[in-house]
Amino acid sequence: MLTPMTRVRVIGPKSALVQAIEELHTLGVVHLDVAGAASDSSLDSVPEDHRRDRHRDELSLLLVELDALLSLVPATDRPAAVAGDHVPGSIDASAMRAAIAPTVHEVEERVRELEELEAEAVVLPRYVQPLRQLLPLVPWLADLSDRELALLRLDTAALVLNLDDDTVVSLLRAELEVELGERFELVATPVDESTVGCVLVFPHDAGDSVHGLLGREHVRHVALPTRYSQLSLRGAVEAMEERERLLPAAIQGAEEAVRELVVPHAAEWQLYRTAAAAELEQLEAIGLLRMTDRAYVMEGWLPRSQVETLREELDRRLDGQVAIEESKPARVDSRVPVLLHNVRLARPFEALVEFLDVPRSASLDPSLVMCLFLPLMFGIMVGDVGYGVILLFLGLYARRRFARSAPVLRDISFVLVFGAAWSLVFGVLFGEFFGDVGKRIVGYDWAVWMYRPGAEALEPLLLFAIAIGIVHVVLGIVLGMWQAARFREPRTLLDRLGTLLVLIGLFTVAGVAADQLPEGAMTPAVALAVVGLVLVLSLHGAMGLVMGPLELLGTLGNILSYLRLAAVGLASAYLAIVANELALAGPIWLGIIVGTFFHTLNLALAGFSPMVQALRLHYVECFSKFFEGGGTPFHPFGERQTMGAETPRAVEQST
Amino acid sequence: MDIGTGLVAIGAGLAVGLAALGSGLAQARIGAAAIGAIAEKPELTGRAILLVAIPETLVILGFAVAAMTIVLL
């Protein structure tokens, strides 16, 4: 559910403004918003202050520098945020920049060296490859250096031609003959599928006309790096190959040098960053305030349950020099920030909802729906005791591994654990243990419900998938109706109601046709479907005859889409059986290898594909009936503050 | 196995296979565009997955036809 929010207005004397901002920042519970209505002429914005603006710019620059430095620290060496609730004073950004400056220069130098090496590693193969292939074509030229070629009054050029067609080389040869007559040598060889490498030897005195011709024809000239240009062709290729061999070690050394330089400073930079970010956030907050001649006004949102705490804390910290007004927002107010808060089991699913979008304020939070259905669908698709156990342990391990470092991955691990538990349940119902291994071991079909790969199981499995789809889609439609009623949108409400009536009517007719319902239900079912259809058609106005049926077909398509629960599950079960058949086809040692390989492959697919499919069924088929995104996430003022115990004294401005 | 059963199997295979081809072609184009969009705005990842997954319904409908072919014929 969405946490109920309330809007608070904090009013106090101008003289206590700085302290009020600091205390509000420390508390970290209010999502600040622009104070006062635009039409309220009694409130003014805070006057411009160039000193403050300059300080803000300095802090922004400092933050950029610190972020760049911290990005060079390997993730494993990155310092964790230090606990503490220190309110930053006025940070001296210049002193901080001066403190980091000597290291910054050294880091820049090392990073530049590293980047040059990396660029060389990328560029060098582009020279070596064509030249290596050209060497055998010009053996008489290969051992002559530039100096020796100059003595012979000859120049050379290595060229790369994009091979649009086979005539490119002959066209170039024809052009050169026009310019130089017989006074040149051109040899060519394919470098890869789309390029041809060439060596052109020509008289030194014809250099200008040759280069002019190459420029006019847009021929790419491979200019060797300076350090190789004086060597013979063969010497240059050998030197470049040797350099290629040495480069990985050189890059590794340069990376190590950067790491050794930045790691010892990482904790200090993190501390500076936190302090500067906190200070900057407070400066930016000033833009949201409004003033009268003697008082300041701040406004923001916070969970309704925390208003009293805020009132007591601010009153105590500001010695009673503050007044807090509370105003309940309108039922539908797009300005209200959104904070999801669900029962503990459903909390990991909030990340999956936000993965799609943040729900609009006052709309429905689908986390609980996901909590109920997503693991169930995952379990139906995997439906194997063996895979379920492995996925369960993998999920538990990942949950512990990412408990602190990556909250989103921790949440997804929890979802995997939940899904694996359902896989165990359906594994027992379907009688599957690594496909048919369980069946082979015990010697009989131990499925409590049905053995999925069996021929007789196809029909009930499809019906089961459709039934899940009906429940899920109808739940989405009902939630959509509830939300439309809440938002007072009668057209949407009637549209959803019409769709629901048509669905009930159609499925009742199907039930009667399949002899599952009494024949007396036929007439009311047809009547319901007709009423629903007319409702949907009439709501779309003139386009109703087209849009109405399309919408209903779309909803039926949504329900059919749940057949993937059966399709993906059957594919997984059959792959497991194929793995077992292949494992038994050869000697035992080979069987173990082959079986392990295919079951591992199937397990990887079982962990990924059912999760994506279950997510899709929620996002597309169910959420489309009620979910409204576009909400503003709740970010309390001071949330980013992860400052350590104290800012180093050397960089604190004395006050 | 008689020739009728064989033809049913071929028909079922074609229903899934051709639907998968169509789905694959659509997903290739959508996927390329989605990766471009994610490179520009990583927060679109969720919606990109959703868009890439949409054509898969074609295969599911193909599967439905194949299953009906096998069950009913």
Residues A36-52: tens digit of each pLDDT: 766 667 778 777 788 88
A243-300 pLDDT, tens digit per residue, is 888 989 999 999 898 888 888 888 888 888 888 888 888 888 888 888 888 898 999 9
How much is the pLDDT for A22? 86
How much is the pLDDT for A85? 45
**Is B48 inside a domain boundary?**
yes
Q: What is the largest CA-CA distance in chain A?
A: 108
DSSP-based three-state secondary structure for A10: strand
Pick from A189-198, A292-301, A394-403, A439-448: least confident? A189-198
Please report, for the domain that includes residue A219, its CATH number: 3.30.70.2750
How much is the pLDDT for A137? 66
DSSP-based three-state secondary structure for A653: coil
Q: What is the mean pLDDT of residues A311-317?
A: 90
Chain A neighbors of B46, CB-CB under 8 A? 355-357, 619
How much is the pLDDT for A138? 66
Cβ of A620 and B45 within 8 Å? no
Q: What is the mean pLDDT of residues A550-574?
A: 90
Q: Is B20 on the interface with A (CB under 8 A)?
A: no
| Tokens 């439906």 sit on residue | A383
How much is the pLDDT for A150? 65
- Confidence band for A183, pLDDT divided at 50, 70 and 90: confident
How much is the pLDDT for A498? 92
**Is B15 inside a domain boundary?**
no
- Confidence band for A544, pLDDT divided at 50, 70 and 90: confident
CB-based contacts of A52, cutoff 8 Å, min separation 6: A283, A286
Last residue of a domain, one of A183, A215, A231: A231
Q: What is the mean pLDDT of residues A295-322?
A: 90
Q: Structural domain tally of chain B?
A: 1
Q: Structural domain tally of chain A?
A: 3
Q: Which of B47, B50, B60 sits opposite A561 (nearest CB)?
A: B60
Is the same domain home to A509 and A615?
A: yes
Residue A142 has pLDDT above 70, yes or no: no
How much is the pLDDT for A642? 42
Cβ of B67 and A563 within 8 Å? yes
Cβ of B57 and A557 within 8 Å? yes
Closest CA to A150 of A213, A205, A199: A205
Rounded Cα distance between A247 and B65, Å, is: 58
Is the same domain home to A367 and A496?
A: yes
Is the same domain home to A416 and A454?
A: yes
**Is A84 inside a domain boundary?**
yes
Q: What is the mean pLDDT of residues B49-54?
A: 80
CB-based contacts of A222, cutoff 8 Å, min separation 6: A126, A127, A130, A131, A158, A159, A160, A197
How much is the pLDDT for A384? 94
Rounded Cα distance between A200 and A186, Å, is: 5
CA distance to partner chain A, nearest, from residue B42 (Å): 11
**Is A549 inside a domain boundary?**
yes
> Phi and psi (nearest 5°) for A158?
-95, 130
Is the same domain home to A207 and A284?
A: no
How much is the pLDDT for B70? 82
Is the same domain home to A156 and A286?
A: no
Q: Say if residues A493 and A484 touch (Cβ distance below 8 Å).
A: yes
Q: Is B14 on the interface with A (CB under 8 A)?
A: no
How much is the pLDDT for A649? 37
Is the same domain home to A111 and A168?
A: no
Rounded Cα distance between A405 and A440, Å, is: 43
Q: Which amino acid is at B45?
A: T
CA distance to partner chain A, nearest, from residue B1 (Å): 15
Paired residues of A196 in beta bridges: A161, A190
CB-based contacts of A341, cutoff 8 Å, min separation 6: A1, A2, A3
Tell me which residue range forms the domain holding A585. 349-624
Rounded Cα distance between A416 and A402, Å, is: 13
Q: Say if residues A325 and A40 touch (Cβ distance below 8 Å).
A: no
Q: What is the mean pLDDT of residues A139-148?
A: 67
Distances (CA, A) of A219 to A267, A306, A505, A635: 53, 71, 72, 56
**Is A256 inside a domain boundary?**
yes
Higher pLDDT, A137 or A2: A2
Residue A653 has pLDDT above 60, yes or no: no
How much is the pLDDT for A152? 66
**Is B4 inside a domain boundary?**
no
Residue A504: both structure tokens together: 């009930």
Is the same domain home to A368 and A400?
A: yes
DSSP-based three-state secondary structure for A579: helix
Q: Say if residues A81 and A274 touch (Cβ distance below 8 Å).
A: yes
Residue A187 has pLDDT above 90, yes or no: no
Closest CA to A618 of A417, A472, A441: A472
Q: What is the mean pLDDT of residues A1-11?
A: 90
- Confidence band for A377, pLDDT divided at 50, 70 and 90: very high
pLDDT over 90 percentage in chain A: 30
How much is the pLDDT for A652? 40
* B window 32-71, beta carbon within 8 A of A: 45-47, 49-50, 53-54, 56-57, 59-61, 63-64, 67, 70-71
How much is the pLDDT for A375? 96
**Is B42 inside a domain boundary?**
yes
Rounded Cα distance between A606 and A420, Å, is: 10
Residue of A349, A354, A612, A616 to mutate when probing chain B, most B C-beta within 10 A: A616
- Confidence band for A212, pLDDT divided at 50, 70 and 90: confident
Q: Which helix (H) or strand (E) holds A197?
A: strand A195-203
**Is A125 inside a domain boundary?**
no
How much is the pLDDT for A82? 53
Last residue of a domain, one of A231, A261, A290: A231
Is the same domain home to A71 and A186?
A: no
Higher pLDDT, A224 or B7: B7
Residue of A408, A463, A564 to mutate when probing chain B, most B C-beta within 10 A: A564
**Is A507 inside a domain boundary?**
yes
- The model's pTM: 0.74
Residue A315 has pLDDT above 50, yes or no: yes
Radius of gyration of chain B measured on its C-alpha atoms? 17
Rounded Cα distance between A194 and A534, Å, is: 62
Q: Say if residues A385 and A435 touch (Cβ distance below 8 Å).
A: no
Distances (CA, A) of A572 to A224, A352, A432, A451, A597: 55, 24, 11, 13, 14
Is the same domain home to A653 and A607?
A: no
Q: Which helix (H) or strand (E) holds A437?
A: helix A437-442
Tell me which residue range forms the domain holding B40. 23-72
Residue A60: both structure tokens together: 């922004």
Cβ of A612 and B70 within 8 Å? no
Is the same domain home to A493 and A587?
A: yes
C-beta atoms surrounding A203 within 10 Å? 14
Residue B59 has pLDDT above 90, yes or no: no
Q: Say if residues A80 and A267 touch (Cβ distance below 8 Å).
A: no
Cβ of A619 and B67 within 8 Å? no
How much is the pLDDT for A655? 30
- Confidence band for A140, pLDDT divided at 50, 70 and 90: low
Residue A588 has pLDDT above 60, yes or no: yes
Q: Evaluate the CA torsion angle A637, A642, A646, A652 in order and state its sign.
A: negative
Q: Say if residues B61 and B15 touch (Cβ distance below 8 Å).
A: no
Rounded Cα distance between A322 and A204, Å, is: 87
Q: Is A165 left (phi over 0), alpha (psi -120 to 50) or beta?
A: beta
- Confidence band for A617, pLDDT divided at 50, 70 and 90: very high
Residue B20 has pLDDT above 90, yes or no: yes
How much is the pLDDT for A469? 95
Higher pLDDT, A151 or A409: A409
Rounded Cα distance between B21 and B41, Å, is: 29
Give the nearest chain A residue to B16 (CA atoms).
A567
Distances (CA, A) of A519 to A501, A502, A508, A523, A531: 19, 18, 10, 8, 20
Is the same domain home to A359 and A421?
A: yes
* Burial label, B42 (beta-carbon count in 10 A; 0-12, 13-18, 19+): exposed
A465-513 pLDDT, tens digit per residue, is 999 999 999 999 999 999 999 888 999 999 999 999 999 999 999 989 9
Is the same domain home to A515 and A438?
A: yes
CB-based contacts of A613, cutoff 8 Å, min separation 6: A377, A381, A564, A565, A568, B53, B56
